[in-house]
Amino acid sequence: MSYAVIKTGGKQYRVNVGDKFDVEKLVAGEGDVVTFTEVLAAGEGEAISFGAPFISGATVEAKVLKQHRAEKVTAFKFRRRKGYHRTKGHRQLITRVQITSINA
């Protein structure tokens, strides 16, 4: 099974064709096809090629399944004996994608 390592949103993901996963928000509508050009490694078994830093001409295509928000993250600050406490919440915008093809 061939796989690729892509970079998006400041993170790296190891992907196979058919994988579904969440990435940082992409500017695309549901059903659109997005192309990841920052491919760090691609191949199968012993025939893996690595980029420096990226493989030139390699792309990974994915279909956008859903635009949604992640679970809530709560940031709580507290200073003991001072009567100080602050609570802030945040929900990150994320995109669910499904890998359709790997072109290395």
Domain boundaries, the chain: 3-67+96-103
Nearest to residue 98, comparing CAs of 6, 40, 15, 12?
A: 15
Continuous segment of H or E residues that includes residue 43: strand 39-44
Whether the CB-CB separation of 98 and 63 falls below 8 Å is answered with yes
* Pair of tokens at residue 64: 């956008």
**Tokens 């499904």 identify what position?**
98
Instruction: Tell me the whole-structure pTM to 2 decimals.
Output: 0.84
pLDDT at 74 > cutoff 80: yes
State the pLDDT at residue 46: 85
